């Protein structure tokens, strides 16, 4: 029985339970930061694919300009070096930050059996909510035998982070911050007349 748990893992999403084989190499990035804007402003930029080219490092194209929603999918192309990767992103979690913390979960499968999981959590960092805490988690599982969750030496979510994968993610987060800042700036109203 223990061999079953070491070889098979499950991930539950809004779309149901997804089963994966254990044993593939895994790359992991976890970034926490704050954005100088309310959660609604950050969310509006996050779910708008037409703006992804402004901040996603290596993005070559997006297949749709429609805003993401629960159950939606989006085709994108990413350039890594000279190689072009076509991905179909599927929204696996979608909770706007209107009544609490926001959550956007995305999943993409590459043709060679690799799997990318990304989650972005938003929470107000101040009262009133003028600053947003952003927690981004990105996992890349390589190969047809996927999800080495139980083989990680530091527990389920304690894997060592991948520094090569972290650099482009950090560049994307920095560019996203600039985009959010540009949309969060209040218009200049000038002086009022005495």
The answer to the question of residue 193 being in a domain is no
User: Mean pLDDT, to the nearest integer, of 57-63?
Assistant: 88
| pLDDT at residue 185 tops 90 | no
The answer to the question of residue 189 being in a domain is no
Using a pLDDT cut of 70, give the percent of the chain over it: 69
The pLDDT score that the predictor gives to residue 153 is 45
- Which DSSP helix (H) or strand (E) runs through 39? helix 39-46
The pLDDT score that the predictor gives to residue 11 is 46
pLDDT tens for each residue of 123-162: 998 777 789 999 999 888 776 444 444 444 444 444 556 6
Q: Please state, as a whole number, how many other Cβ atoms lie within 10 Å of the Cβ of residue 102.
A: 24
The pLDDT score that the predictor gives to residue 25 is 62
| pLDDT at residue 21 tops 60 | no
Starting at the earlier edge strand, list the strands of the sheet with 26-35.
26-35, 132-141, 115-124, 102-109, 83-95, 73-80, 59-62
The answer to the question of residue 194 being in a domain is no
The pLDDT score that the predictor gives to residue 6 is 30
The answer to the question of residue 22 being in a domain is yes
The pLDDT score that the predictor gives to residue 174 is 93
The pLDDT score that the predictor gives to residue 111 is 63
CATH number at residue 37: 3.30.530.20
The answer to the question of residue 190 being in a domain is no
pLDDT tens for each residue of 162-183: 677 788 889 999 999 999 988 7
Residue 101 and residue 108 in contact, taking contact as beta carbons nearer than 8 Å: no
The answer to the question of residue 192 being in a domain is no
Of 25-29, 38-42, 58-62, 96-100, the range with the lowest mean pLDDT is: 25-29
The answer to the question of residue 146 being in a domain is yes
Whole-structure pTM over 0.85, yes or no?
Answer: no
Domains held by the chain: number:
1
Cα separation of 174 and 178, whole Å? 7
The pLDDT score that the predictor gives to residue 152 is 44
Domain limits for position 15: 2-184
């Amino acid at each position: 029985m223990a061999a079953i748990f070491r070889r098979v893992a499950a991930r539950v999403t809004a779309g149901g339970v997804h089963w994966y084989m254990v044993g593939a190499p895994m790359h992991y990035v976890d970034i926490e930061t704050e954005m100088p804007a309310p959660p609604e402003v950050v969310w509006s930029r996050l779910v708008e694919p037409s703006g992804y080219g402004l901040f996603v490092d290596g993005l070559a194209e997006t297949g749709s300009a429609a805003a993401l929603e629960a159950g939606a999918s989006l085709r994108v192309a990413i350039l890594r070096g000279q190689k072009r990767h076509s991905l179909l992103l599927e929204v696996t979690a979608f909770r706007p930050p209107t009544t609490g913390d926001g959550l956007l979960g995305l999943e993409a499968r590459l043709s060679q059996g690799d799997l990318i999981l990304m989650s972005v959590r938003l929470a107000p960092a101040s009262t009133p909510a003028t600053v947003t805490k952003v927690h981004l988690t990105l996992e890349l599982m390589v190969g047809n035998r996927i999800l080495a969750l139980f083989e990680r030496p530091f527990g389920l979510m304690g894997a060592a982070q991948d520094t090569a994968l972290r650099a482009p993610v950090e560049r994307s987060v920095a560019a996203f911050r600039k985009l959010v800042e540009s949309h969060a700036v209040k218009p200049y109203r000038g002086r009022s007349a005495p």
